Amino acid sequence: MRFYEFESKRLFGKYGIPLPKGSKVAATPAEAKVVAAEINGPVVLKSQVLSGGRMKAGGVLFADNPDQAAEAAKKILALEINGHKPRGVLVEARAPIAQEYYVGVTWDGVARMPVMIFSDMGGIDIEEVAEKHPGHISKRHFSTLMPFSDFMAKELVAGVGLSGDHLNRLSRLAASLARIFQAHGLTLAEINPLARLDDGTFFCLDGHVDMEDDARDTQKGILKDLGIDPEEKRQARPPTSFEIKGAQVDAADPRGVAGNVVEFDGDLGLVIGAGGGSLTLFDAIRKHGGKPANYCEIGGNPSVSKTCELTKLILSKPGVKKIAVMMNVVSNTRVDIVARGVIKGVIESGQKPSEKIAIFRIPGSWEQEGFKILEHYGVEYCDRTVSMFEAAGRAVAKMKA
């Protein structure tokens, strides 16, 4: 789960990482004006959105006095960026910067360890620095079993050839960031840019934090402190009401999974699974020129009622003509139980299974029992001799007929 900039900064602030003067989030132009008056000097106003490209879109503006600040805040608050409405506007003091740095902590999936990354070329994309200026970047992994120790951060900063007072101050900041990463189940903790003022002090100009979803249960305290709703999901785009209902279907019944319901604008509803199978099948439908109405992942042997509710939800979506029910060869999920669920869902939607179900391709555990049910209702089905790709093709062909 990504944090807004102001949340990232609040978290950093708790660990003593210096922030720009003032740094407060405002919900209205009047509030922005008050913050700017408190700062009593030139300010920068930044739209609080989870989307990139904020600068280009006009989500960052400057002001020299409180009235200008109110004016700028009004513009920013009205501006939607890539479909995201801002969650307020961050107002902070603007000061002349001597140099920008980068410091971040993230996971290295190959080493399977956290890694700190530092560069004395901040403010730009770190991958670009790594590619074009490898001498200006340094990395250091650290153990998850051994307590974090400050020398690790010192080695990191020394890695780009820094020394003296800058080395000491910067490595203290990097060490704090590593400890924040460790303590809060983060997948990313990043300060970019990390700015140095002419007087030799440093502060966090912009920050990014990503918290792992599976760590949220153990992080309830800090989330509450930061004002983040424990239930809030932050996908790359806000969820649609169809998706919210999909999540409710999944949450209502602990038996099995009917998860990750994502809405698309096609006419072929999909009841597919499991994780890898869904990806494979979604690709196959598109390759055949089909237009999926949704994505989903069923698995873990969902109950009849869960599959039934999911089916009803998908059929209730405007424009859905038929559904395709497909999975890879299953060994835990039962073919007959899924068959019961989808047929029940179609019937309870007032439709005929033989017409609404374009294809049923789930081979595996209890398939004989499942095939009996499908035959009884006249639903077209196939066994494991028909590939996932071919089954998807049959479903798409029926849509065109």
Partner 1 sequence: MSLFIDVEVDASARSNADLVKKLVEVCPVNIFAASSGKLDIVDAHLDECTLCELCLNAAPPGSVKVKRLYGTKDVLVRQS
Partner 2 sequence: MSILITKDTTFIIQGITGREAVNMSRECLDYGSKIVGGVTPGRGGRDVYGIPVYDTVRQITAKTHVDGAVVAVPPAFTRDAVFEALEGGVKLIVIVTERIPRYEVAQMVELAKMRGARIIGPNCLGILSPGEAKMGGLGGRAVDAKKAFSKGYVGVMSRSGGMTTEMCNTLTAAGIGQSTAVSIGGDAIIGSTYADLMPLFEADQETKAIVIYCEPGGRMEAELAKYVVEQKSRLPIIAFMAGRFMDEMPGMRFGHAGTIVEGKADTTAEKIARLEAAGISIAERIEDIPGLVKKRLGMDGK
Question: Which residues contact partner 2 by CB under 8 A?
Answer: 107, 109-110, 112-114, 127, 143-145, 182, 185, 187, 212-215, 218, 235-237, 260, 262, 273-280, 282-284, 286, 295, 297, 299, 327-332, 363-365, 384-385, 387-390
Query: Based on CB atoms, which residue is closest to partner 2, 94 or 288?
Result: 288
The least CB distance from residue 3 to partner 1, in Å, is 41
Query: Based on CB atoms, which residue is closest to partner 2, 127 or 165?
Result: 127
Query: Based on CB atoms, which residue is closest to partner 2, 168 or 235?
Result: 235
> Which does residue 396 touch among partner 2, partner 1, none (CB within 5 to 8 A, set by kind)?
none
The least CB distance from residue 329 to partner 2, in Å, is 5
The least CB distance from residue 376 to partner 1, in Å, is 4
Q: Provide, for the chain, the percentages of residues in helix, strand and coil under a 3-state DSSP scheme, each rounded to the nearest 5.
A: 40, 25, 35
The least CB distance from residue 243 to partner 2, in Å, is 11
| Main-chain dihedrals φ then ψ at residue 317, nearest 5 degrees | -75, 130
Query: Based on CB atoms, which residue is closest to partner 1, 312 or 334?
Result: 334
What is the length of the chain?
401
Identity of residue 148: F
> Which does residue 244 touch among partner 2, partner 1, none (CB within 5 to 8 A, set by kind)?
none
Question: Which own/partner contact pairs does 164-171 have at CB distance under 8 Å and 24+ positions apart?
Answer: 165/200, 166/196, 166/200, 169/200, 169/201, 169/202, 170/101, 170/103, 170/118, 170/194, 170/202
Query: Based on CB atoms, which residue is closest to partner 2, 56 or 164?
Result: 56
> Which does residue 185 touch among partner 2, partner 1, none (CB within 5 to 8 A, set by kind)?
partner 2
The least CB distance from residue 308 to partner 1, in Å, is 8
| Cβ atoms 235, 244 nearer than 8 A | no
Chain positions contacting partner 1, by CB under 8 A? 303-305, 334, 336-337, 340, 343-344, 347, 369, 372-373, 375-377
CA 280/CA 113 separation, integer angstroms: 30
Query: Based on CB atoms, which residue is closest to partner 2, 42 or 364?
Result: 364
What is the distance of C-alpha 309 from the center of its chain? Answer: 26
Which residues are within 8 A (CB) of 359 and not within 5 positions of it... i.e. 6 or more apart?
324, 325, 326, 380, 381, 382, 391, 394, 395, 398
Query: Based on CB atoms, which residue is closest to partner 1, 59 or 302?
Result: 302
> Which does residue 106 touch among partner 1, partner 2, none (CB within 5 to 8 A, set by kind)?
none
The least CB distance from residue 269 to partner 2, in Å, is 16
The least CB distance from residue 392 to partner 2, in Å, is 10
> Which does residue 99 touch among partner 2, partner 1, none (CB within 5 to 8 A, set by kind)?
none
CA 86/CA 75 separation, integer angstroms: 11
For 301-316, the DSSP string reads ---HHHHHHHHHHHHH
> Which does residue 343 touch among partner 1, partner 2, none (CB within 5 to 8 A, set by kind)?
partner 1
CA 215/CA 150 separation, integer angstroms: 25
> Which does residue 262 touch among partner 2, partner 1, none (CB within 5 to 8 A, set by kind)?
partner 2
The least CB distance from residue 341 to partner 1, in Å, is 8
Sheet of 24-26, strand order: 24-26, 89-93, 43-47, 60-63
| Cβ atoms 395, 322 nearer than 8 A | yes
Residue 241: its H or E element: helix 241-252
Query: Based on CB atoms, which residue is closest to partner 1, 107 or 377?
Result: 377
- Alpha helices per DSSP H over 22-163: 29-39, 66-78, 126-132, 150-158
For 165-217, the DSSP string reads HHHHHHHHHHHHHHHHHHHTTEEEEEEEEEEEETTS-EEESSEEEEE-GGGGG
Query: Based on CB atoms, which residue is closest to partner 1, 132 or 376?
Result: 376
The least CB distance from residue 238 to partner 2, in Å, is 12
